[in-house]
Amino acid sequence: MAKVRVRFAPSPTGPLHIGGARSALFNWLFARHYGGELIVRIEDTDLERSAPEYEAMILDSLRWLGLDWDEGIDVGGANGPYRQRERLEIYRPFAAQLLSSNAAYHCFCSEEELEAERRALSAAGELPRYLGKCRSLTAAERERLCAAGRQPVVRFRVPEGRVLLVDDLVRGRVEFASDGIGDFIIVKSDGIPTYNFAVVLDDALMGITHILRGEEHLSNTPRQLLIYQALNFQVPEFAHISLILGEDRSKMSKRQGAVSVVQYREDGYLPEALVNFLALLGWSPPGEREILDRRELVSLFSLERVSKSPAVFNLEKLQWMNMNYLKNAPLSVIFELCLPHLVRAGLIEDRLSPGRRAWLEKVVDSVRAKLSYCAQATEVAAAFFGETAELADGDEEARLALAEKTAPAVISSLREKARQFAEWDEETVRQVLKEVGKELNVKGKALLMTVRVGVSGRSHGPDLTALLVLLGPQMAARRLDYALKNFLNREDD
Ligand code: GLU
């Protein structure tokens, strides 16, 4: 095989979404697997919707995912510039060539005329398309229209009666009849090429060997093939990757995970987990194992195992996968991911003293196993924060624990014992709990659940010993005191 050259060519019209990230990843895996090259370039011909901020966000997300590229935006290369808007001079002679070989022509139809044509075709039950009014204008007619101030577009003259064949590496043979296509615009009246034209020129001039992209672009491929043929360019291989659907098999919604990569990053997912998860959206590794690191993905990836059927986005699976990766991540990484969420929720100050930081690290360490993603820290670690803990609404189990006859005695006994310490460690906490149980002759749930509800107001939460250690005996005592007065309505026992 000739040296593989693939590309990722996002339009900077929004942040990088799951679908785009998956396309970028598949291209990256393919390039790295074959020792080829990945080019990243920007398709910014949609002047109204493109914005430099989105370009920056997309590149940032790619880097965060750990995807690097060999040529293109930021890294440069022999085939630049890599933004379509900076390549207008490069495109111009090719439009001229198509015009002079009669493969394209100037069209002067106004938007209103085209709209009327589309409506008439729809009303007659036909596919709305351009019927070729300007196909055979004479030079004199063209001049007259230009003199009248009409700015023409350039349309590609689609040959009639042709079958266009795409030998897709994922979908197999796909045929398109040229008759349904209609002469399409390749250069707009402002001189900016359309996507179908610019993408072909970029891919051909940059020596792209394989085009791996989303299935939504399959219907563009016959148009692009026609341009390749008209310009005598070598046609690259195509591989159209299936759509990503939500769990109910409809178009993926926000709730089902159709959010930007930035959002997952902010929510405290690890890039390794997202990469692993995205790789499995439409590709399946040989063997049973699903947790595969970057190196393994590169070595196993192949288009043969990319599926034709739609990939289904399963948020729970992503969370499960992230939890797996969090388990093996260093505490410092998890800490940094949790911190902004705790600060934003007002649970912790943003300027931490070294002591407070050390304490918070222990808090994070004690809850890390429960996190699917780090934004959950505000919930999962809530019990560690605040002078008092209110009784959670609707927590039936907590209410039952407080209804135990022994509950007031358990809570006040632990409060008294806690008051005698300035600090305590795990060993001491275990010892003290044991003493309370022994003295009052309670054990199991009646002891531990009652204490848990007494200090945290809820029946579920972090490891109880860790909670008591990290709250410290004085805080624990104050919370137990609060529970006695407010949950049990007792002044004292
Ligand atoms: N700019 C297109 C997009 O963002 C990519 C088109 C292509 O890969 O050919 O969907």
Beta strands 37-40 and 5-8 are parallel
Rounded to the nearest angstrom, the distance between the alpha carbon of 71 and the centre of ligand 1 is: 17
Domains and CATH numbers, the chain: 87-241 (3.40.50.620), 273-384 (1.10.1160.10), 396-486 (1.10.10.350)
Between the alpha carbon of residue 46 and those of residues 11, 41, 96, 195, 365, the distances in Å are 8, 15, 22, 8, 48
Rounded to the nearest angstrom, the distance between the alpha carbon of 337 and the centre of ligand 1 is: 32
Q: Is 199 in the pocket of ligand 1 (CB under 6 A)?
A: yes
E strand or H helix that includes residue 410: helix 407-419
* Residue of 38, 49, 48 whose CA lies nearest to 73: 38
* Residue of 459, 444, 487 whose CA lies nearest to 397: 459
Ligand 1 binding pocket mutation candidate from 25, 27, 28, 43 (most atoms within 8 A of CB): 43
Ligand 1 atom closest to Cα of 216? 10
Are 244 and 311 in contact, with CB atoms under 8 Å apart? yes
* CB-CB neighbours of 320 under 10 Å: 15
Residue 128 has a pLDDT of: 86
User: What is the SS3 assignment for 317?
Assistant: helix
Is the torsion defined by CA of 80, 82, 84, 86 positive or negative?
A: negative
Rounded to the nearest angstrom, the distance between the alpha carbon of 55 and the centre of ligand 1 is: 14
Instruction: For residue 77, give the DSSP letter.
Output: -
CA nearest ligand 1 atom 4, residue: 10
* 3-class DSSP string for 238-284: EEEECCEECCCCCECCHHHCCCEHHHHHHCCCCHHHHHHHHHCCCEC
The whole model's pTM is what? 0.93
Q: Is 11 in the pocket of ligand 1 (CB under 6 A)?
A: yes
In this structure, which long-range contacts are made by residues 359-362, counting pairs with CB atoms below 8 Å and at least 24 apart in sequence?
359/470, 360/335, 361/331, 361/335, 362/466, 362/470
Are 30 and 298 in contact, with CB atoms under 8 Å apart? no
Ligand 1 atom closest to Cα of 8? 8
Residue 492 has a pLDDT of: 61
pLDDT in tens, the chain (493 residues): 789 999 999 999 999 999 999 999 999 999 999 999 999 999 999 999 999 999 999 999 999 999 999 999 999 999 999 999 999 999 999 999 999 999 999 999 999 999 999 999 999 998 888 989 999 999 999 999 999 999 999 999 999 999 999 999 999 999 999 998 999 999 999 999 999 999 999 999 999 999 999 999 999 999 999 999 999 999 999 999 999 998 888 888 777 777 899 999 999 999 999 999 999 999 999 999 999 999 999 999 999 999 999 999 999 999 999 999 999 999 999 999 999 999 999 999 989 999 999 999 999 999 999 999 999 999 999 999 999 899 999 999 999 999 999 999 999 999 999 999 999 999 999 999 999 999 999 999 999 999 999 999 999 999 999 999 999 999 999 999 999 999 998 766 5
CA distance 273 to 315: 12
CA distance 330 to 208: 40
* CB-CB neighbours of 450 under 10 Å: 26
Torsion (CA) 351, 357, 363, 368 in degrees, nearest 10:
90
* CB-CB neighbours of 80 under 10 Å: 17
The residues annotated with a catalytic role in the active site are: 254
In this structure, which long-range contacts are made by residues 30-34, counting pairs with CB atoms below 8 Å and at least 24 apart in sequence?
30/4, 30/6, 30/210, 30/212, 30/301, 30/303, 31/4, 31/5, 31/6, 31/70, 32/298, 33/298, 33/299, 33/301, 33/302, 34/1, 34/4
What is the residue type of 60? Answer: D
Q: Is 43 in the pocket of ligand 1 (CB under 6 A)?
A: yes
* Residue of 32, 11, 63 whose CA lies nearest to 294: 32
Q: Is 10 in the pocket of ligand 1 (CB under 6 A)?
A: yes
DSSP 161-182: T-EEEEEETTTEEEEEEGGGT-
CA nearest ligand 1 atom 2, residue: 10
Beta strands in 302-416 (DSSP E): 311-312
